[in-house]
A and B are shown apart, each in its own frame.
Chain A
């Protein structure tokens, strides 16, 4: 595996090979004495997350989740104290390479954790593939990260966009829906989710009658809702996030479609039940997590999180928490010696993460292989109805690893 990759995991191998990337400063760390010192030194973790703008709350949830995982290990990972470096990525892809460079080159972090926005993830991928820095992505679902761009140092603890809708095909089939309409924003994330649903649904013999797109990030859904009414599909599948999700649910209800044409979606559609009010009631979604998942691990996690941060955790907090767990698994295996990257990656690859969402493992492209739950909004809660797809793995198209 990863044979063809140019990027080495072991820095000593690196130097022997005479590869140019390692700079003069890095060389000092690589001497035997340097390694000893490095184990003493604090582990440098770079958090590249949105601190401003629409996605700021997601950034916060991820940070909290990550820190909870660290706190559960006595504030240390692999026996090492931690020093955090943070960069606000502003959810601006144009600045992404530069921002991640701050962590990699300026702060010389051992691990990068980030981020929410898919476009920013794409920008990070470019830089981190070249630098070979260990990267754990706790959210952004861009398929390419664990697809065409995949790399041994890339890990994701969240989902690929494809995963969040693929299982819906089976769900719709089981409900007897023969055709459906997919509605989302015209942007890469939306299109990937549409693709995932289409594949899953067509495999079950269903027909995706129409793909409806709204220019990003507009929230005037009226025209498309009218179009849906005139098409009269058996079901509607939607993906919207941020300000869009709440408005979509409300407009769907106000247009009188709710109750007439059943609404499904990737779980993000119903992640803000407080603001959505009763417009979300009864909507069924698939996601790798549900607040009400009644397992020991989840209950313990929710309690600890609420205690520590005076907030209810959400799926983003879980993903951040698991990023901490995954990193811990790697560091434990090498006893905190991040220099031994190949061993660390090996350990992370084979880790079985005991997550609040249920146990999961990594695919060979380093994306979670996880259960997708079918959830239904009841009251203010995403009630888990069952597992829609057991151990769903992203097809990782284009990953040559």
Chain B
């Protein structure tokens, strides 16, 4: 693929997506909003899995934590300002990631997969078993966050189109941020750690600190996604930090293709839309009831025959490998 095209393609796609509310501004726009939120979530995980070589199976912890953070911070029946609540929610997640990161990064491989799971399960039970966040029934957020400048309302997020555009802008921002970060010396070091952690250490890189920084950034961005997810429907339930959620986002990353940011976005689209299509009873009638069978088979086929994910399909047509893809 021509590199100038690759550079403008994300903007082209984002531009087209920005026009979507003109086509449909109810259900499918909201679905798309969700897809974009999941894309942010998947990109945050890709930073860990695809670029740092750390397979987290508990990423929903940060997603869910931010959801609870906004729901708990928001005054009942009133709106909460996005200006401070979004940074605060992200900050909470970053802090939690920093703390858990120092512990989980002592382990590797399967152990790492399992300890990240353990921490997310801990959080799950904290919210499920205690009254902090309404227990298993969950907690409501009564209004969307507000974006005011002084007394002037900049953007009314109760209007779903506006919320959609906000999410779109943030998705693009996260994409650009990660693109930039991965092209930096820091990003190169992460890739080096993914490819050969031992050698990086021998070269004098404080590997742990790099991994911790990546882990924290990843947790913070997952928090952004979680904040938006909670704001979108105004409902947070312990289930959003369950291991199924962690599994689902991991599926998105692998499905799209690890180590390519756009792959995560594609993965989020594919995963959510596939679920949508397979479980649509209007199209599949009674057999839609067994949509998980088709989903399961599809996931297995990807694992067996499409290890590079959907993004790998494009790489087959002459794209460069990961290390260079990060080059600008």
User: Which residues of A sit under 8 angstroms from B134, Cβ to Cβ?
Assistant: 188
- Whether B140 pairs with A126 at a CB distance below 8 angstroms is yes
Number of contacting residues on A, CB 8 A?
37
Q: Considering the chains assembled together, what is the distance between the CA atoms of A215 and B125 in angstroms?
A: 8
User: Known contacts A92-B239, A94-B245: does B136 contact A189 (CB below 8 Å)?
Assistant: yes
Known: A23-B26, A126-B234. A52 touches B292 (CB 8 A): yes
Q: Does the CB pair B27–A186 fall under 8 Å?
A: no
B184 at the interface (CB under 8 A from A): no
Assess the A94–B237 pair: CB atoms within 8 A: yes
Residues of B within 8 A of A119 (CB): 136-138, 237, 239
Q: Does A399 contact B (CB under 8 A)?
A: no
CA distance A94 to B226 in the complex (A): 12
What residues of B have a CB within 8 angstroms of the CB of A106 in the complex? Answer: 26-28
Residues of chain B within 8 A of A98, CB atoms compared:
30-31, 34, 233
B119 is an interface residue with CB less than 8 A from chain A:
no
Distance of A271 Cα from B125 Cα, bound (Å): 28
Interface pair B281/A102, CB less than 8 Å apart: no
B interface SS class = helix
CB within 8 Å of A: which B98-154 residues? 125, 128-129, 134-138, 140
Shortest Cβ distance from residue A205 to the other chain B in the assembled complex, whole angstroms:
28
- Tell me which of B30, B242, B279 contacts A105 (CB under 8 A): B30
Known: A86-B281, A94-B240, A191-B135. Contact between A51 and B233, CB under 8 A? Answer: no
Query: Which A residues are in CB contact (< 8 Å) with B31?
Result: 98
> Is the CB of A101 closer than 8 A to any CB of chain B?
yes
B128→A187 contact, CB < 8 A: yes
Given contacts A88-B289, A188-B137, is CB(A96)–CB(B237) below 8 Å? yes
A137 close to B (CB within 8 Å):
no
Asked if B165 CB lies within 8 Å of chain A CBs, one says no
Which residue of B has the minimal Cβ distance to A52? B292
Instruction: Tell me whether B289 and A97 are in contact (CB under 8 A).
Output: no
Inter-chain CA distance A94–B125, complex, in Å, is: 15
Complex Cα distance A48/B135, Å?
23
Considering only CB atoms, which chain B residue lies closest to A127 in the complex?
B233
**A102 and B135 form a contact (CB under 8 A):** no
- Asked whether B135 lies within 8 Å of A187 as measured between CB atoms, the reply is yes
B27 touches A102 (CB 8 A): yes
Closest 3 CB pairs of A and B: A97-B233, A105-B27, A187-B136
Given A96-B237, A101-B30, 8 further pairs, Cβ under 8 A = A51-B289, A93-B239, A94-B240, A106-B27, A122-B140, A123-B233, A126-B235, A144-B137
